[in-house]
């Protein structure tokens, strides 16, 4: 149980284009999902908290107009990187919060974004 998928697993796009990444909880419903960014050999950096049916909450320093988050259902959240630039190249990971009441998060396999 508690399986989270991400699609695509990797994507290469040209500078100035937009890229959408999907995060799905496959066997449980998640009212709360999270989006992280990770640079090589570093820890995870929380970008935003995504709540089903409401606006996402962004961490300080994260541009909400650049990283659009939509939590359309209890099993799907999407992150759209708009007008991507090479500095947006990174490993993006989503997670879904479990229902144990202990704030456990279950992570997707990540999406490697490369902007050329």
Partner 1 sequence: TQLLEQSPQFLSIQEGENLTVYCNSSSVFSSLQWYRQEPGEGPVLLVTVVTGGEVKKLKRLTFQFGDARKDSSLHITAAQPGDTGLYLCAGADYKLSFGAGTTVTVRA
Whether 21 and 111 have beta carbons less than 8 Å apart is answered as yes
Q: Which residue stretch of 11-19, 65-73, 75-83, 106-114 sits at the interface with partner 1 (rule: CB under 8 A)?
A: 106-114
Angle formed at CA 75 by CA 67 and CA 98, multiple of 5 degrees: 95
Minimum gap (Å) between residue 9 Cβ and partner 1: 9
The reply to whether 56 sits near partner 1 by the rule CB under 8 A is no
Question: Binder to partner 1 among 46, 62, 74, 76 (CB under 8 A)?
Answer: 46
CA distance linking residue 6 with residue 92, whole number of Å: 10
The reply to whether 115 sits near partner 1 by the rule CB under 8 A is no
The reply to whether 54 sits near partner 1 by the rule CB under 8 A is no
Q: Among residues 57 and 70, whose Cβ is nearest to partner 1? A: 57
Q: What are the E-state strand segments in the chain?
A: 4-7, 10-13, 19-25, 32-38, 44-51, 57-58, 67-73, 76-81, 90-97, 105-107, 111-115
The reply to whether 33 sits near partner 1 by the rule CB under 8 A is no
Q: Among residues 67 and 106, whose Cβ is nearest to partner 1? A: 106
């Amino acid at each position: 149980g508690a399986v989270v998928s991400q699609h695509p697993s990797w994507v290469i796009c040209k500078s100035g284009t937009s890229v959408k990444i999907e995060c799905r909880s496959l066997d449980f419903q998640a009212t709360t999902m999270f989006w992280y960014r990770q640079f090589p050999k570093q820890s995870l950096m929380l970008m935003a908290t995504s709540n089903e049916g409401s606006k996402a909450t962004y961490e300080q320093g994260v541009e909400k107009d650049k990283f659009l988050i939509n939590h359309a259902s209890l099993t799907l959240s999407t992150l759209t990187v708009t007008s991507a630039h090479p500095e947006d190249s990174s490993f993006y990971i989503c997670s879904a919060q479990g229902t144990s009441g202990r704030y456990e998060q279950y992570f997707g396999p990540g999406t490697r974004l490369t902007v050329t």
